[in-house]
């Protein structure tokens, strides 16, 4: 197939990163063919800054109808991901949504329903952290049974500190009307996707304590501690915040045969039991004592251009050169997780998963109706390098 002509919809912080990758020729077989941003002044300034000379549009529908692109990357604020992806698919184009897939499960399911009607078009999502080799190795080991039966999953992911100036840089940020959530919807979607992907199962119950505007002058959550239960009886704790400095990124998965620990998404250690703990429990007669453990460092550092790898795969999949690595259909899991956390806080109880889509949407709408009015957009563009 010929070169894939790509349109970027949403030319802000992250859109700039994709524009750079395409302009620098880092995506083989893909070219930047059009850009779109609803804010015309910003669009023009961005085109000048990045020396973009392809067609530009202020309405995504005009870009989709222009015949200038084969595929789009949607990197607007989250609420717009599903409706724009739906329009792109219905226009016969391939579509990649940035994370999260959307804000509420109902809209993500609508997008999935439309994608199912277009099986010949590629429907993808930017879960760049799925390309992290340590997380891939953990997933593979668990699938191969190296950990035995999963008992506990703990993730403290608080190493994306954000100051007030970050929140003030965009009117949509951390507001019910503009973003629909806070740290769960902007920073944590990567880990909320990875967690069930790595352990191979979704939780079935969730109880979360979400603190709204605890560390910043914002409406939405910036500090969350969630407890979850899985169908096999395993439990988990997920902690995230944009207020911790220094922060932590530590993922621990405990199974009957041992424990995997990944620190900072890099250092991966396996603590392997000589005997399965359940077997030891039944057979050991010595009172005090525990299975013998061997510590193995499996990986130390592994740098990878994760976004670039996802975009390269998107283009390759469109050209029929390799299968899609991360399907857009996978986007529902993370949204289910984040929505369950907020719903649990709003209802003040543990919620069953999957959640009630209509109830969530109604509860979200209450916050939108009574929430702050959106401020005027500032047009600020921040450099995202090193932030993911």
Ligand X SMILES: NC(=O)c1ccc[n+]([C@@H]2O[C@H](COP(=O)([O-])OP(=O)(O)OC[C@H]3O[C@@H](n4cnc5c(N)ncnc54)[C@H](O)[C@@H]3O)[C@@H](O)[C@H]2O)c1
Q: Name the residue among 118, 127, 120, 37 with its Cα closest to residue 85.
A: 118
Among 69, 124, 145, smallest CA distance to 322 is for: 124
- Measure the CA–CA gap between 372 and 179, rounded to whole angstroms: 12
| One character per residue 57-76, x = contact with ligand X (rule: CB under 6 A) | ---x--------------xx
Position 10 contacts ligand X (CB under 6 A):
yes
Using CA atoms of 94, 303, 269, 139 in order, give the dihedral in degrees to the nearest 10.
Answer: 10
The pair of three-digit structure tokens given for residue 152, joined into one six-digit string: 């506990």
Nearer to ligand X, 99 or 257 (CB): 99
Q: Which of residues 229-248 bind ligand X (CB under 6 A)?
A: none
Toward ligand X, which CB reaches closer, 38 or 47?
A: 38
Please answer whether residues 132 and 251 qualify as being in contact, where contact means their C-beta atoms are separated by less than 8 angstroms. Answer: no
Indicate the residue among 46 and 207 with the shorter CB distance to ligand X.
Answer: 46
> What is the spatial distance between Cα 91 and Cα 115, in angstroms, rounded to a whole number?
12
Three-state SS at 124: strand
Is the Cβ of residue 166 or residue 360 nearer to ligand X in the bound state? 166
Which of 195, 192, 197, 194 minimizes the C-alpha distance to 181? 192
Interstrand relation of 71-74 and 4-9 (parallel, antiparallel or unpaired): parallel
Q: Which is nearer to ligand X, 99 or 151 (CB)?
A: 99
DSSP-derived pairing of the beta strands 221-229 and 205-212: antiparallel
Q: How far is the CB of 229 from ligand X (least distance, A)?
A: 28
104 contacts ligand X (rule: CB under 6 A) = no
Q: Measured between alpha carbons, how far is 189 from 360 in angstroms, rounded to an integer?
A: 18
Kindly state whether residue 166 participates in binding ligand X, applying the rule CB under 6 A: no
Shortest distance, position 370 Cβ to ligand X, whole Å: 23
Handedness of CA 321, 326, 331, 336 (dihedral sign): positive
Applying CB under 6 A, among 18, 80, 167, 230 the residue interacting with ligand X is 80
Q: Name the strands in the sheet holding 123-126, side by side, starting at the edge strand that comes first in the sequence.
A: 56-57, 30-36, 4-9, 71-74, 94-98, 123-126
313 counts as binding ligand X under rule CB under 6 A:
no
Q: Least distance from C-beta 234 to ligand X, angstroms? A: 28
Interface with ligand X: number of residues (CB under 6 A): 26
Identify which of residues 40 and 358 has a Cβ nearer to ligand X in the complex: 40
Per CB under 6 A, 56 contacts ligand X = no
Of positions 107, 128, 175, 273, contacts ligand X by CB under 6 A: 128
CA–CA–CA angle 249, 124, 207 (5° rounding)? 45
Which of 99, 257, 259, 367 contacts ligand X by CB under 6 A?
Answer: 99
The residue among 150 and 338 lying less far from ligand X, judged by its C-beta, is 338
CB nearer ligand X, residue 34 or residue 147: 34
Residue 11 lies near ligand X (rule: CB under 6 A)? yes
**Separation CA 185–CA 79 (nearest Å):** 10
Nearer to ligand X by Cβ, of 240 and 273: the residue is: 240
Residues 185-204 that bind ligand X (CB under 6 A): 186
- 180 sits near ligand X (criterion: CB under 6 A): no
What span, in angstroms and rounded, lies between the C-alpha atoms of 120 and 85?
Answer: 15
Question: Which residue from 21, 22, 33, 42 is in contact with ligand X, where contact means CB under 6 A?
Answer: 42
| Separation of alpha carbons 306 and 69, rounded Å | 24
Residue 137 in the binding site for ligand X (CB under 6 A): no
In angstroms, give the least distance from the CB of 228 to ligand X. Answer: 23
Q: Does 37 bind ligand X (CB under 6 A)?
A: yes
162 binds ligand X (CB under 6 A): no
263 exposure class (CB count in 10 Å sphere: 0-12, 13-18, 19+):
middle
Does position 258 interact with ligand X (CB under 6 A)? The reply is: no
Catalog residues that contact ligand X under the rule CB under 6 A.
Answer: 9-15, 36-39, 42, 60, 75-78, 80, 98-99, 126, 128, 170, 186, 384, 388
């Amino acid at each position: 197939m010929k070169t894939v002509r790509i349109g970027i919809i949403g030319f802000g912080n992250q859109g700039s990163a994709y524009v750079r990758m395409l302009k620098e020729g880092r995506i083989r077989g893909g070219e930047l063919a059009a850009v779109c941003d609803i804010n015309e002044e910003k669009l023009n300034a961005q085109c000048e800054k990045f020396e973009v000379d392809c067609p530009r549009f202020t309405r995504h529908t005009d870009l989709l109808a222009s015949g200038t692109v084969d595929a789009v990357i949607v990197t607007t604020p989250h609420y717009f991901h599903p409706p724009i992806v739906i329009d792109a698919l219905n226009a016969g184009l391939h579509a990649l949504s940035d994370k999260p897939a959307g804000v509420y499960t109902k809209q993500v399911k609508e997008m999935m329903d439309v994608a199912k009607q277009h099986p010949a078009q590629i429907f993808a999502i930017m879960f760049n952290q799925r390309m992290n080799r340590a997380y891939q190795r953990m997933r593979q080991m668990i699938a191969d049974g190296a950990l035995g039966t999963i008992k506990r999953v703990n993730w403290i992911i608080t190493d994306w500190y954000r100051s007030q100036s970050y929140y003030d840089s965009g009117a949509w940020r951390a507001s019910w009307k503009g973003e629909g959530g806070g740290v769960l919807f902007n920073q944590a979607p990567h880990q909320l996707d990875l967690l069930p992907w790595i352990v191979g199962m979704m939780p079935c119950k969730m109880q979360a304590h979400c603190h709204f505007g605890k560390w910043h002058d914002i409406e939405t959550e910036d500090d969350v501690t969630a407890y979850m239960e899985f169908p096999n009886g395993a439990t988990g704790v997920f902690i995230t915040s944009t207020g911790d400095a220094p922060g932590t990124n530590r993922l621990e998965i405990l199974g009957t045969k041992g424990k995997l620990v990944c620190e900072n998404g890099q250092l991966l250690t396996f603590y392997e039991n000589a005997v399965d703990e359940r077997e030891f429990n039944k057979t050991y007669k010595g009172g005090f004592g525990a299975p013998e453990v061997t510590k193995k460092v499996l990986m130390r550092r592994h740098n990878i251009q994760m976004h670039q790898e996802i975009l390269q795969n998107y283009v390759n999949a469109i050209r029929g050169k390799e299968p899609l690595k991360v399907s857009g259909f996978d986007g529902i899991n993370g949204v289910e997780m984040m929505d369950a956390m907020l719903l649990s806080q709003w209802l003040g109880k543990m919620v069953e998963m999957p959640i009630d889509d209509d109830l969530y949407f109604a509860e979200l709408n209450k916050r939108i109706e009574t929430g702050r009015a959106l401020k005027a957009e500032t047009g600020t563009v921040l450099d995202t390098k090193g932030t993911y």
